[in-house]
Chains A and B, each alone.
Chain A
Amino acid sequence: MKDRTMTAKSMTGASILWECLEREGVQVVFGYPGGAILPAYDALKGSKIHHILVRHEQGATHMADGFARASGQVGVAIATSGPGATNMVTGIATAMLDSSPIVCITGQVGSKLIGSDAFQETDITGVTLPITKHNYLVTHASEVARTVREAFYVARSGRPGPVLIDITKDAQQTTCEFDWEAARPQLPGYRPDLSPEQSEYDEALELIRNSKRPVILAGHGIIISGAMSEVREFAEKAGIPVALTLLGIGAFPAAHPLNLGMMGMHGEAWVNHTIQEADLLLAFGMRFDDRVTGNLKTYAANAKKIHIEIDPAEINKNVKVDVPLVGDLREVLHQLLPHVESIDRSEWLDSIDKLKGDAAVRDIQNLPDSGHLYAAHVINDLWRETRDADTVVVTDVGQHQMWEAQYYKHEKARSLITSGGLGTMGFALPAAIGAKVARPEAEVWVIVGDGGFQMTLCELATIVQEKLKVNIAIINNGFLGMVRQWQEFFYERNYAATPLLNPDFEKLGEAYGIRSMTVTERSQVVPAVRAARQHDGPVLINFRVEQEDTVYPMVAAGASLHEMIRRPSKIVETAEDE
């Protein structure tokens, strides 16, 4: 009690907010001011926190998300009430589905006005209830400190996720005693630290021991848990190959001989065949998303399944598993590792090599130059040029995202940032800003389609205003490419609403004061990438690629994982179609 009186001092809710953010380690917030959050902005001048002015609140949430994914720390976005808050919804849902720890702070109308349909009033805690891990409405200055502390703790612990704090204008304006120590989180119902039973460990080890054809399914949870070296040790010790989910890319080095590559809808054929032929799946921090499993009835039908997962609600949700190990992946692997036996599985690994079959021959990289510029070429050349640097690639959603996953080889965790679960177009550019702010020393590349780029291109101004060295590669095919691909395969090439009339992206970039160029031939790709890397400021490259190109292989929605549409073995077919 003595300490409390010693440390307490009288502050406004707004000042307490910034003070608590600082104490949580926040150095940068992404935001956009407005009426109901103005008291907080007014108090910003007394804070060491750097505020980055975005051009749209959706951008602020994606930046916070990109920041979180690049650094592993909580990202913070701030906006006003009403439209400011609702503009955040897409970014919050994106963070929710990809378990990204962000805290979103919104202003709210005065507490006396709540429920009166006041100007710019929205029930944002009601709106975001199903897309946040937790949210708060704060109506008194005295609640600010505890709420911020709880929000950060909830956002980053267990399975991370977005937390929203809605603070009424009067709660920001009024004054109360601030006491950080006394404002400890009180979360009696929140228990993120679970661990498996010994019997479950024993069952898992028994299954691993008896398996002849095991595969590790490596997911985002590895990166979140920081279990990269444990997974590698596990795979090497037990001689088990590793397939990656989209968000698992980087969790296991691409160049590692046990790395099979990405699984699922656009996974390589041999990866999916390996999963279908396996007798044991070891799911590490992944959730058997439908893009990964295809038809559940035929999914890995002969395999036993071990699921290591921090969220108990994921167990048996999509795929029935034999042994669930609920807990933090890194800790669970620490328990398992000493007991994992070294078993020679060369027969299984050799048979996987055979499954690769003619895949290499079908690979677009190995086909003769047809004079066309393919996105895969651009991305693969970009990889060759940047592979030795500390590079973070941030993608948008669609064909270019899948080509990135296939043709950019990631050796390190957090070197690919992409919207997986929600598939949010417009994610890349703002998320890359967040990534660059989190890791200024890293080389950040945006790979984005011409469709998604135009959803959030207003943030080009944020890049310029903040003097951020971000390189932007627009994969411009004049189509909403992935939708067009589905129309090609499943809707008899009825290209309804997928062709895009685009502005001149080079001129657009120049208008923002960003050095910009256009590339139309493969021979120009490497020089353009080199010029971009050498340039001091941000660079935009408009890659005008083949218009009707297709991501292969493809598992149609609802089809079995081994039923893939493969790239025709002669690539010229694609060109001759025109």
Chain B
Amino acid sequence: MLNTYVVYVENKPGVLTRVASLFRRRAFNIDSLTVGRTEKPEVSRMTITAEADHDQARRIEANLYKLVNVLLVENITNQPAIVRDLAMIKVAATHEARSHVLELASVFRARVVDVAPDSLTIEITGAEDKIDGLLEVLRPYGVLEMVRTGIVAMRRGKGSVPVPVASSSDHDAAEEDVSHSV
């Protein structure tokens, strides 16, 4: 099944490569990966979707945690969440077709963001299947160009798991003289 992970990582150079490389190396398939800033400047947030059975899904999570720069991993596949994808679709719209296309866009609550003599560019935000639906009905008119961001996701409700961040005072783990490996 398709699993959705929200991954909080340190906002440092090369972290995206580490995450992407992990999926490649362990032969897990990334379906989509987005990364962006969060409310904390030192934390970046990824939304990753990947095809995996139950055991694989757990191993993906465990392997992500092995990356030193990964702060927190949430598998929100089976949790109530808001999931959004954004697409820009440039569709051929001749004089005759234009009103039909505009009508379809408004049915899907999409916005027209650019108009040219022979085309319209439509922006749509929503769950992936909603965008798939709009694409389906626009295809007969001729989709000239299309781009999607990949999904971003957030759990519903107030609860959020605290993301550990670096501070000079709270680094107890490294301070304890741990007696391993001797």
In whole angstroms, what is the CA distance A189 to B68 when docked? 6
Which residue from A125, A129, A193 sits with its C-beta under 8 Å from B178? Answer: A193
Complex Cα spacing A133 to B25, Å:
14
- A46 adjacent to chain B (CB < 8 Å): no
Q: Does A256 contact B (CB under 8 A)?
A: no
Contact B71–A315 (Cβ < 8 Å): no
A153 lies within 8 A of B17 (CB): no
* B1 touches A (CB below 8 Å): no
Interface check B69, CB cutoff 8 A = yes
Provide the bound-state CA to CA distance between A191 and B66, in Å: 9
- Interface SS of B by simple majority: mixed
B140: interface (CB < 8 Å): no
A436 at the interface (CB under 8 A from B): no
B-side interface size class = 35 or more
Within the assembled complex, what's the spacing in Å between the Cα atoms of A191 and B166? 13
B63 CB contacts on chain A under 8 angstroms:
313
Chain B residues, CB < 8 A from A226: 179, 181-182
In the bound complex, what is the Cα–Cα distance between A160 and B179 (angstroms)? 12
**Residues 134-172 of chain A: 1 if any B CB is under 8 Å from the residue's CB, otherwise 0?**
100100000000000110011011101000000000000
- Chain A: residues with CB nearer than 8 A to chain B? 72-73, 101, 125-126, 129-130, 133-134, 137, 149-150, 153-154, 156-158, 160, 182, 184-193, 224-226, 311-313, 315-317, 320, 328
17 A-B residue pairings within 8 Å (CB atoms): A101-B181, A133-B68, A156-B181, A157-B180, A160-B181, A182-B168, A184-B175, A186-B171, A187-B171, A189-B70, A189-B71, A191-B65, A226-B182, A312-B62, A313-B62, A315-B58, A316-B58
Taking the nearest CB of chain A, how far is it from the CB of B162, in angstroms?
A: 11
Asked whether B174 is an interface residue with its Cβ less than 8 Å from the other chain, the reply is yes
Quick one: given A72-B181, A130-B25, are A316 and B59 in contact (CB under 8 Å)?
yes
Q: When chains A and B are docked, how far (Å) is the Cα of A193 from the Cα of B181?
A: 13
Tell me whether B55 and A316 are in contact (CB under 8 A): yes
Chain B 52-78, CB within 8 Å of chain A: the 1/0 string? Answer: 000100110011011111111000000
Q: Quick one: which of B139-182 are within 8 Å of A by CB?
A: 164-168, 171, 173-175, 178-182
Are A158 and B180 in contact, with the CB atoms below 8 A? yes
Residue B50 at the chain A interface, CB threshold 8 Å? no
Which of A73, A130, A154, A189 has a CB less than 8 Å from the CB of B164?
Answer: A189
| B14 CB, nearest partner CB in chain A, Å | 7
**Residue of A157, A186, A188 touching B181 (CB-CB under 8 A):** A157
- With a cutoff of 8 Å between Cβ atoms, the chain A residues found around residue B17 in the complex are 126, 129
Q: Is the CB of A73 within 8 A of B182?
A: yes
Bound Cα distance from A154 to B62, whole angstroms: 17
Q: Is the CB of B171 within 8 A of A317?
A: no
Q: How far is the CB of A491 from chain B (nearest CB, A)?
A: 28
A interface, over-half SS: loop
Give chain A nearest CB distance to B136 CB in angstroms. 39
Q: What is the CB-to-nearest-CB distance from B10 to chain A, in angstroms, rounded to a whole number?
A: 6
* B43 nearest CB neighbor, chain A only: A188
The answer to whether A315 and B180 touch across the interface, beta carbons within 8 angstroms, is no
Chain A residues within an 8 Å CB radius of B165: 188
**B164 and A72 within 8 A (CB):** no
Q: What separation, in Å, do the CA atoms of A190 and B70 have in the docked complex?
A: 8
Quick one: given A184-B168, A320-B55, are A130 and B181 in contact (CB under 8 Å)? no
Q: How far is the CA of A72 from the CA of B180 in the complex (A)?
A: 9
Separation of A149 and B17 alpha carbons in the complex (Å): 24
Beyond A160-B181, A192-B180, A224-B180, 9 extra complex contacts between A and B, CB < 8 Å: A72-B181, A130-B21, A133-B66, A188-B71, A191-B173, A225-B180, A226-B179, A312-B65, A316-B58
Chain B residue numbers with a CB within 8 Å of A156 are 180-181
| B18 beta carbon closer than 8 Å to chain A | yes
B9 CB-CB contact with A under 8 Å: yes
Q: Nearest Cβ in chain B — how far from A414, in angstroms?
A: 11
Contacts of B18 in A (CB 8 A): 129
Determine whether the beta carbon of A190 is less than 8 Å from that of B58.
no
A311 to B72, CA, bound (A): 17
User: Which residues of the other chain, A, contact B14 by a CB distance below 8 angstroms?
Assistant: 125, 137
Residues in A with CB closer than 8 Å to B59 are 313, 315-317
State in angstroms the CA–CA spacing of A184 and B167 once bound together: 10
Q: B132 → chain A, closest Cβ, in Å?
A: 34
Q: Which of B55, B164, B175 contacts A188 (CB 8 A)?
A: B164
Q: Are A189 and B182 in contact (CB under 8 A)?
A: no
CB pair B174–A184 under 8 Å, yes or no, is yes
Q: How far is A36 from B178 in the complex, measured between Cα atoms in Å?
A: 34
The complex places the Cα of A101 from the Cα of B21 at a distance, in Å, of 22
Q: Contacts A184-B171, A186-B166, A225-B180; is A134 near B68 (CB within 8 Å)? A: yes
Chain B contacts of A193 at CB under 8 A? 173, 178
**By the criterion CB–CB under 8 Å, are B181 and A224 in contact?**
yes
Indicate the member of B18, B69, B179, B180 with the most A CB atoms within 10 Å: B180
State A187–B175 Cα separation when bound (angstroms): 11
CA distance A313 to B58 in the complex (A): 8
By a CB distance below 8 angstroms, the chain B residues around A72 are 181-182
Interchain nearest-CB distance for B163 vs A (Å): 8
